[in-house]
Chain A
């Protein structure tokens, strides 16, 4: 008779050893990653003198804690090449938020990372890759089946990215605005998937009237942490 019972494991320690080996591997990788991070932060700090002008909140001097994450807080805004849409990117300590918007039919919120001068963000149906420095951000953004190149300058308030989220008559409305250096505003109000041009954003208060209700927008510029 062939036994159809599952074979009995000979060693009882195998699974535990597997776990321990996995844990050890994770620790080694973690330490390697932490070292790489420290080196990268050092090199970032070394170039911290080129800190972007949008850094309104200077990093507090490190008194006790060793090496907090590099305080790179900056925003960029402008039109994609060809001018078909606007885009804004905000960076805060390695994290990045971007908003692509044509003011009518196309909008994409993207999240991702900004590290070592490189941007890597993605959204529901969009991907942005590129680079950034103290003056500008450049790269390519793909949304749906379209893609654009971009090279946009640093944004100084009130130029930049704004976002409000509100529940208006039982519908979640997320509105994004990009305010360009010439004062032009490009935005979309998204009422649970239905897109409409955003109403005018009153600055500097950041208030607007969306679907008949007054909402307040947060400036997503990396320095306040709003939106991150």
Chain B
């Protein structure tokens, strides 16, 4: 209120700020590394559960991932509107809810894909596409964890959430490019 800001307060808040950022970042990194180590060390089972209506387990994953990527695009759009970056659109009141729910859907759609990838295929490096996909897949879930933990905190610097969101979005899109798009262009668009 009217109290003057003391130097000790400033230092405390600077230190707090580091912890505020560092803890979610460390937890997110731990998640990414754990996924990578698990994916690398366990023997891939090669087992897939097919879903009725699709021709193969692969196509199930391809379309789940595509759904997730579509919601990720909504994420980018809603975030831009929310931060007032789209000049001709004033952020509607429901934009926050839209952002949260499209994110949740994107995340949930990605989970069955990731479980199958890790369980049946593991982290592989036999060509560049597969290596990039494996690395980015681990990064995505680490970054997503970090972003969620950051969201739960107050007093973050303004750039923290857009940066975390940007990493999450980039990772998800890269995952889609190195799997679904590859599938569509090599095998064909099929259900």
Interface size class of chain A, counting residues whose CB lies under 8 Å from the partner chain:
35 or more
A82 lies within 8 A of chain B by Cβ: no
Residues in A neighbouring B154, C-beta threshold 8 A: 12
A15 touches B148 (CB 8 A): yes
A6 lies within 8 A of chain B by Cβ: yes
Residues in A neighbouring B45, C-beta threshold 8 A: 33, 37, 69, 94, 115
B90 lies within 8 A of chain A by Cβ: yes
A22 touches B108 (CB 8 A): yes
A19 touches B126 (CB 8 A): no
A9 to B: closest C-beta gap in Å: 7
Partner of A33, one of B47, B95, B100, B126: B47
The CA-CA distance from A120 to B62 in the complex, in Å, is 15
B119 lies within 8 A of chain A by Cβ: yes
Residues in A neighbouring B91, C-beta threshold 8 A: 4, 7
Secondary structure at the A interface, as helix, strand, loop or mixed, is mixed
B127 lies within 8 A of chain A by Cβ: yes
B145 to A: closest C-beta gap in Å: 6
* A36-B47, A114-B46, A120-B58 as given contacts; A18 in contact with B95, CB under 8 Å: no
The CA-CA distance from A14 to B103 in the complex, in Å, is 12
Q: Mark B143-154, 1 if CB is under 8 A from A, else 0.
A: 011011101111
The CA-CA distance from A96 to B127 in the complex, in Å, is 15
Smallest CB gap from B27: residue in A:
A19
Which residues of B84-107 are within 8 A (CB) of A?
84, 90-91, 95-96, 100, 103-104, 107
A89 lies within 8 A of chain B by Cβ: no
B126 touches A111 (CB 8 A): yes
Which residues of A81-99 are within 8 A (CB) of B?
93-96
B128 to A: closest C-beta gap in Å: 9
Interface hub of B48, B90, B107, B120 (most chain A Cβ within 10 A): B48
Partner of B187, one of A13, A19, A30, A127: A127
A25 touches B83 (CB 8 A): no
Residues in B neighbouring A15, C-beta threshold 8 A: 147-149, 151-152
A113 touches B121 (CB 8 A): yes
The CA-CA distance from A175 to B91 in the complex, in Å, is 59
B37 lies within 8 A of chain A by Cβ: no
Q: Mark A113-124, 1 if CB is under 8 A from B, else 0.
A: 111100010111
The CA-CA distance from A22 to B109 in the complex, in Å, is 10
B60 to A: closest C-beta gap in Å: 12
A26 lies within 8 A of chain B by Cβ: yes
Q: Mark B31-53, 1 if CB is under 8 A from A, else 0.
A: 00000000000011111110000
The CA-CA distance from A23 to B177 in the complex, in Å, is 25
* A2-B90, A22-B111, A29-B115 as given contacts; A94 in contact with B44, CB under 8 Å: yes
B23 to A: closest C-beta gap in Å: 13
B47 touches A37 (CB 8 A): yes
Q: What are 12 A-B contacts defined by CB distance under 8 Å?
A: A4-B91, A7-B91, A12-B154, A16-B149, A29-B115, A30-B119, A33-B49, A36-B49, A37-B119, A40-B47, A94-B43, A120-B58
**5 closest cross-chain pairs (CB), A and B:** A94-B46, A113-B46, A15-B148, A15-B151, A4-B84
